[in-house]
Amino acid sequence: MSRYGGEHMADEGLSRRRLLTAGAVLGAAPLAPAAADTLTGRGPPWQANATAEPDAPKGGTDYIFFTGPEHAFVEAAASRMIPKDDLGPGAIEAGVPLFIDRQLAGDFGKASDWYMQGPWAKGEKTQGYQSRFTPAQMYRAAIPAINDAANHQHKGDFSALKVADQDAFLKGLEKGDIQLSGGVDAAAFFKMFLQNVIEGYFSDPLYGGNRDMVGWKLIGFPGARYDQRAYVKTYGQPYPLPPVGVMGRPDWNRG
């Protein structure tokens, strides 16, 4: 032991991550002793039952963040961004709206990793995101503002418009041509929403989107395959294996 060993052994507490992990795995069960924050002479610490498992959303298919008008918009708009067509399933079939719902209900929605202290200013484009809205607040503010604008233009909520009108409206949002009330930057919201739709289509199925790996199958991405050594030098040859996710494959998991 060095002269410092044991002086500040962190039996005062688990590390935050391990505390969170333990909570996620064990629910309210008593917390097991965890790695000390002061490490001396014992080699790299390892902790049983402390693998940093992904923060997978709870099951079920009910919306927990979106209200009725909100999910009506999200479903309608996402189905225009990635439609079901002759190439295969789109955003709805992939579960993208539910994916976004769970993301907004979680850490992403709260911008819990972002720097969200004021003062606030619009800034230059090169200074990036400067909205005081968290993603959850952004969706909450944007959707009624979008429906207001849609009603103003077409006398109906976005979800009630003809698809051609929906497409034109989305293009107006994308370009920032449509002004939204409530302090919402239309182009900034569109950018975030489109990014979330693409995330829901191509992320690991454990987050609720990319259901049955339809996004991966569309393009030929094999997912979380750990050993590709046999396929490095198969120049020009199609890849032979189906995709797999962190949870495995549907045909492994379904009895």
172 by Cβ neighbours in 10 Å (0-12 / 13-18 / 19+) ranks as middle
Beta strands in 57-164 (DSSP E): none
Of residues 94, 202, 211, 214, which one binds another protein by CB under 8 A? 202
Give the position of tokens 């500040």: 8
For the chain, how big is the Rg over CA atoms in Å?
23
- Our CB check for another protein shows the closer of 61 and 127 to be 127
Q: If binding is defined by CB under 8 A, does position 80 make contact with another protein?
A: yes
Give the position of tokens 């992904």: 54
Subset of residues 11 to 70 that bind another protein, contact rule: CB under 8 A: 12-13, 15-17, 35, 37-47, 50-55
Of residues 72, 76, 82, 141, which one binds another protein by CB under 8 A? 82
* Closest CB 180 distance from another protein, rounded Å: 19
Torsion of CA 134, 140, 143, 144, to 10 degrees: -140
Judged by CB under 8 A, the stretch of 9-17, 66-74, 141-149, 181-189 that binds another protein is: 9-17
Distance CA 140, CA 73 (A): 11
Judged by CB under 8 A, the stretch of 64-72, 144-152, 177-185, 190-198 that binds another protein is: 190-198
Q: If binding is defined by CB under 8 A, does position 252 make contact with another protein?
A: no
Q: If binding is defined by CB under 8 A, does position 240 make contact with another protein?
A: no
Torsion of CA 186, 192, 195, 201, to 10 degrees: -100
* Closest CB 52 distance from another protein, rounded Å: 5
Of residues 75, 148, 154, 225, which one binds another protein by CB under 8 A? 225
62: three-class secondary structure by DSSP = coil
- Our CB check for another protein shows the closer of 87 and 155 to be 87
* HEC string for 157-203: CHHHCCHHHHHHHHHHHHHCCCCCCCCCCHHHHHHHHHHHHHHHHHC
- Our CB check for another protein shows the closer of 32 and 151 to be 32
Q: Are 71 and 101 in contact (CB under 8 A)?
A: yes
Closest CA to 52 of 76, 16, 84, 83: 16
Distance CA 142, CA 154 (A): 18
Judged by CB under 8 A, the stretch of 25-33, 148-156, 180-188, 238-246 that binds another protein is: 238-246
Subset of residues 100 to 119 that bind another protein, contact rule: CB under 8 A: 107-108, 111-117, 119
Judged by CB under 8 A, the stretch of 57-65, 140-148, 179-187, 198-206 that binds another protein is: 198-206
- Our CB check for another protein shows the closer of 69 and 106 to be 106
